[in-house]
């Protein structure tokens, strides 16, 4: 059991072998081409915000750190790989003694992030920096997808609490567990996923399903039994038979007969089907008339940001919402297309040689070199103006105005005065040693609230958001142009 030492029973398995097989065939190849120890630089970034949104919410860094801290091949893994007949004993020996020694930088969780800026940068021996591709992508892609979707849904819900309810429709166990984590980062107040509270300290909540009602001879008896057991937290699901003719009258009867005499106020009713606008308005009216204006109306049933905006604009009376499958799978756009691309290598004497991936598709051309990112804020209102990607060794002169320019239409320039900057990436591994202290999920959630409040409303809106500026420094832009021209001289159009 060589895993045991670093193995946390709750946070999961050792996932070292969760790797695309080609990372291994390439690793073996690098080793035998004397490239294994060459220092390579990789950037993880994405090209497009899902759902046509204005920004994404960074999430998953803690799990990347856990993964990178626990890289270890077992004897069984080595034996399995040996039997594939693709790898030399020298390479298998390398894996057996694998010791992660890369430097890694990442944008901390909860920050709004934008296309084409590095979210994670890995610098280290080519075998290693290549190997970690699959899990870095998988982790950040998944959690950023869900945090971003949750943020949309919570914005649509206004100040109403949104509960994450989707475990049963998640794509696998981790889809539920880490999906709940990301959903709370993005803005959800709580989750139905119990294990996620144990693991991450995010509140788990829940009351009853239709089966509770059905198991009793009548709805009234089911409500009565519930009120007896949970007088202090009584939320009744009222749509098993008929909301207005049966569920609500029975609920009110039980509130009056059981709760009030015992000195408890009822907490709420939940509706999980039917016409939300009509039913919630009617229920609100009847509850208010019956002396229960403090009783909350909770809704669920295939909600997402579009339906929530719609029913609220129709005047639906909603106090809180449960959102399930459309959040936990990001149903409207379930793929977050983060990529992991080589940006530089060091030559044998340690000089950085920037690399570019060219493409007919201009969008797919990468930003070369070892880079840094600064977020530039306006001093007078703290709003974020732009992100500026520079080369690592550039120094910004903060006493002078910064001139940014559009990387395509370079005559579109903007001179920024009275600004302050924040370096976006933090170092999370130094020569293989974790050096970053993960904040709690509830603290990351606060970062989201704080940092999105610094975004212009034009960037935050759902429809046709303003494209936030992500610009390159002059030095980086020049380098990129040089490389592009170099390649265009070598290769012609298809």
Q: Any contact of residue 281 with a copy of itself (CB under 8 A)? A: no
Rg (the chain; Cα; Å): 27
- The three-state secondary structure class of 351 is coil
Q: Any contact of residue 93 with a copy of itself (CB under 8 A)? A: no
Q: Any contact of residue 365 with a copy of itself (CB under 8 A)? A: no
- The three-state secondary structure class of 311 is helix
> Which CB sits closer to a copy of itself, 229 or 408?
229
127-166 binders of a copy of itself (CB under 8 A): 130, 133-134, 137-138, 141-142, 145-146, 165
Q: Any contact of residue 331 with a copy of itself (CB under 8 A)? A: yes
Instruction: Give min distance, CB of 430 to a copy of itself, in A.
Output: 23
Written in H, E and C, the secondary structure of 316-379 is: CCCCEEEECHHHHCCCCCCCCCCEEEEEEEECCCCCEEECCCCCCCHHHCCCCCCEEEEEEEEC
Chain CA centroid to CA 123, Å:
23
**Residue 222 neighbours by CB under 8 Å, 6+ apart:** 212, 213, 214, 215, 216
User: Which of 47, 52, 80, 410 is the binder for a copy of itself (CB under 8 A)?
Assistant: 80
Beta carbons of 144 and 113 less than 8 angstroms apart: yes
x/- track of binding to a copy of itself for residues 258-277 (CB under 8 A): ---------------xx---
> Which CB sits closer to a copy of itself, 158 or 203?
203
Q: Any contact of residue 241 with a copy of itself (CB under 8 A)? A: yes
Region from 11-19, 153-161, 260-268, 446-454 binding a copy of itself, contact rule CB under 8 A? 11-19
Q: Any contact of residue 341 with a copy of itself (CB under 8 A)? A: yes
Q: Any contact of residue 188 with a copy of itself (CB under 8 A)? A: no
Q: Any contact of residue 357 with a copy of itself (CB under 8 A)? A: yes
User: Which of 223, 336, 377, 468 is the binder for a copy of itself (CB under 8 A)?
Assistant: 336
Instruction: Give min distance, CB of 179 to a copy of itself, in A.
Output: 7
Beta carbons of 151 and 57 less than 8 angstroms apart: yes
Strand order in the sheet with 469-472: 419-423, 371-378, 384-391, 469-472
- The three-state secondary structure class of 233 is coil
User: Which of 6, 93, 194, 467 is the binder for a copy of itself (CB under 8 A)?
Assistant: 194
Beta carbons of 182 and 143 less than 8 angstroms apart: yes
Region from 9-17, 283-291, 307-315, 409-417 binding a copy of itself, contact rule CB under 8 A? 9-17
Binding residues for a copy of itself, rule CB under 8 A, total 117
Q: Any contact of residue 200 with a copy of itself (CB under 8 A)? A: no
396-455 binders of a copy of itself (CB under 8 A): none
Show the beta-strand stretches assigned E in 89-152: 103-106, 112-113, 120-125
Q: From the CB of residue 356, how many other CB atoms can be counted at a distance below 10 Å?
A: 21
Instruction: Give min distance, CB of 324 to a copy of itself, in A.
Output: 9
Rounded Cα distance, 88 and 388, in Å: 44
Region from 354-362, 385-393, 395-403, 437-445 binding a copy of itself, contact rule CB under 8 A? 354-362
Rounded Cα distance, 400 and 306, in Å: 44
């Amino acid at each position: 059991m060589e895993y045991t030492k670093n193995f946390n029973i709750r946070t999961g398995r050792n996932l070292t072998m969760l790797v695309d097989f080609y990372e291994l065939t390439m690793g073996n190849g690098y080793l035998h081409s004397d490239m294994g120890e060459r220092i390579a630089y990789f950037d993880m970034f994405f090209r497009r915000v899902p759902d046509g949104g204005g920004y994404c919410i960074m999430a998953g860094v803690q799990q990347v750190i856990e993964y990178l801290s626990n890289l270890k091949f077992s004897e069984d893994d080595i034996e399995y790989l040996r039997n594939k007949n693709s790898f030399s004993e020298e390479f298998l020996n390398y894996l057996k003694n694998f010791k992660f020694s890369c430097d890694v930088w990442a944008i901390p969780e909860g920050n709004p992030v934008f296309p084409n800026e590095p979210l994670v940068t890995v610098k280290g021996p080519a075998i290693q920096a290549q190997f970690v591709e699959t899990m870095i992508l998988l982790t950040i892609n998944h959690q950023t997808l869900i945090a971003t979707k949750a943020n949309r849904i919570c914005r649509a819900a206004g100040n109403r609490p949104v509960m994450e309810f989707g475990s049963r429709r998640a794509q696998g166990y981790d889809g539920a567990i880490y999906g709940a984590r990301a959903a709370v980062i993005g803005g959800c107040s709580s989750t139905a996923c119990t294990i996620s509270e144990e693991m991450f300290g995010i509140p788990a909540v829940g009351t009853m399903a239709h089966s509770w009602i059905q198991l009793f001879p009548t709805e009234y008896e089911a409500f009565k039994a519930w009120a007896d057991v949970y007088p202090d937290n009584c939320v009744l699901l009222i749509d098993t038979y008929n909301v207005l003719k049966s569920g609500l009258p029975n609920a009110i009867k039980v509130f009056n007969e059981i709760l009030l005499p015992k000195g408890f106020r009822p907490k709420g009713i939940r509706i999980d089907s039917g016409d939300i606008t009509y039913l919630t308005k009617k229920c609100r009216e009847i509850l208010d008339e019956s002396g229960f204006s403090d009783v909350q109306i909770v809704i669920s049933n295939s909600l997402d940001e579009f339906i929530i905006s719609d029913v609220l604009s129709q005047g639906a009376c909603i106090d809180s919402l449960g959102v399930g499958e459309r959040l936990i799978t990001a149903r409207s756009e379930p793929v977050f297309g983060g990529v992991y691309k080589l940006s530089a290598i060091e030559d044998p004497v340690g000089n950085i040689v920037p690399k570019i991936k060219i493409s007919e598709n201009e969008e797919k051309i990468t930003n070369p070199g070892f880079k840094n990112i600064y977020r530039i804020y306006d001093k007078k209102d703290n709003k974020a103006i732009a992100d500026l990607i520079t080369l690592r060794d550039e120094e910004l002169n903060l006493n002078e105005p910064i001139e940014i320019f559009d990387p395509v239409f370079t005559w579109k320039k903007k001179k920024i005065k009275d600004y302050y900057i924040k370096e976006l990436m933090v170092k999370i591994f130094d020569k293989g040693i974790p050096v970053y202290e993960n904040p709690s999920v509830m603290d990351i959630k606060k970062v989201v609230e704080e940092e999105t409040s610094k975004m212009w409303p034009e960037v935050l809106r759902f429809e046709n958001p303003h494209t936030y500026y992500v610009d390159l420094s002059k030095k980086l832009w020049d380098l990129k142009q040089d490389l592009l021209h170099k390649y265009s001289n070598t290769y012609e159009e298809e």
